[in-house]
Amino acid sequence: MMSENGQTALAADARIAAMRKSTVPKNLFVAPLESPIGTMLAVHDEAQCLRVLDFQDYESRMHRLLRLHYGQVGVDFSLRAATAPRATRDALQRYFGGALVAIEGIATATGGTVFQRGVWAALRKIPVGTTVSYGALARQLGCPKAVRAVGLANGANPIGIVVPCHRVIGADASLTGYGGGIERKRWLLSHEGIHFRSDRHVA
């Protein structure tokens, strides 16, 4: 007879599998986008919703997240080279040009668990030019003891910059990690008007 923990684990796996099946797009499209901090790869669905935005030098991570959220390329969905939608290109260009709120209008969609999607939605509510700690973000989500889980979800965010995980910092105001590299995080925060020295928030 299966234990209660085993039944719970199977039920959780079934929910995640069902959720992923319901959110898998038939076709995804990938396009390179140039930026001041390196070439990015933008993945969109047929509705022109941004699904992934990552840096080209982390392409292997992009594919890992795609597999995690949507399954296998060529089996569960196709991934084709294409031009990024004009709305996404223009918004990112304006953001890098100094119109910092331009990216707030970019439509996004993600896979992930319900908890992860809740964290990612909260990230989009962090105002430009501000930062929050992992603990503060956990409290905002109503789960103050889930700081580690919030940190893991933040680190698994597939849509860089637009879903601004770079605005989350350590409780001691240190930069902590960033999937695109700590110098890119520093650049993005500086671009948004927040400056750090020796990984400590000073202004």
Q: Which residues does the annotation mark as catalytic? A: 165
Write out the DSSP string of 5-69: HHHHHHHHHHHHHHHHHHH--SEEEEEEE--TT--EEEEEETT--EEEEEEGGGHHHHHHHHHHH
CA dist., res. 157 & res. 144, Å (int): 20
Q: Could you please report the per-residue DSSP string of 109-144?
A: ---S-HHHHHHHHHHTTSPTT--EEHHHHHHHTT-T
The amino acid at 169: I
Pairing of strands 27-33, 78-81: parallel
